[in-house]
Amino acid sequence: MSQFELSEKNRVKRVHKRGSYDKKTVYDIVDSALIGHVGFVVNGEPFVIPTLIARQGDHLLLHGASSSRMMRHVVAGGEVSIAVTHVDGIVMARSVFHHSINYRSAVLFGTGRVVDGASKMEALRQFTEKLIPGRWDDCRLPNDVEMKATAVAEIAIDLASAKVRTGPPGDEEEDYALPYWAGVVPVRQVFGEPIADDRLPGDIATPDYVLDLINGSAK
């Protein structure tokens, strides 16, 4: 299916015209984010933890310390909600009331399960390659102790929705004649110049994949 099922859980209720249940729209938002905020409940108490995310088909991958509260909850089959948000612009209207943000957001719901064996190493590869494509084959891989200390889980994305705002401010008709500047100030995340580790030997050059990351974000 190209659309997520619509339910009371994932229905966009506020400004519903901005909502979308299209999988491609949701997944594009998820795939272009490094961090997701994972919400879950343990012993009746709610928690929200920001963490690195990666997607594999209709599953979201999470990893963290084996001892962490979030990972213990997820690998035990707990339910979670994950929120992802990109801020694309500050929308300045002629009235304070109509100031806004241009954004792309997605909220996902699902149930976790543990990832182990060869699939666990592959999931860690996907996390690394999402951060810096090309890095996995250019550094030491996790050893047995590190693998034991790390938990990996996948969450079947059962329900999801996206919400997007684009475009100029929407002022009241009578306010368009007011003498105040209005428009959009774009917001963009870029990578800066790499800073080499102080203990890096001078004959080790900055890898091409790092330079590609910087040059790609500057376009």
Residues of the chain below pLDDT 70: 217-219
Residue 9 DSSP label: T
In a domain, 203, yes or no: no
- Beta pairing, strands 45-52 & 35-42: antiparallel
In a domain, 133, yes or no: yes
User: Global pTM?
Assistant: 0.91
In a domain, 84, yes or no: yes
In a domain, 51, yes or no: yes
- At 217 the pLDDT is 64
In a domain, 106, yes or no: yes
Domain that holds residue 171: 16-188
Burial of 191 (0-12, 13-18, 19+ CB in 10 A): middle
The number of domains in the chain is: 1
DSSP helix/strand/coil, 126:
helix
- At 14 the pLDDT is 83
Helices and strands, counts by H and E, the chain = 5, 9
In a domain, 90, yes or no: yes
Nearest residue to 68 via CA among 173, 151, 190: 151
Question: How many other C-beta atoms are found inside a 10 Å radius of the C-beta of residue 23?
Answer: 16
In a domain, 219, yes or no: no
- At 132 the pLDDT is 93
Alpha carbons 109 and 124: distance in angstroms, whole number: 22
Alpha carbons 159 and 4: distance in angstroms, whole number: 6
In a domain, 200, yes or no: no
Q: Where are the alpha helices (DSSP H) in the chain?
A: 23-31, 69-75, 118-131, 144-149, 208-217
Q: What is the CATH number of the domain that holds 77?
A: 2.30.110.10
- At 155 the pLDDT is 96
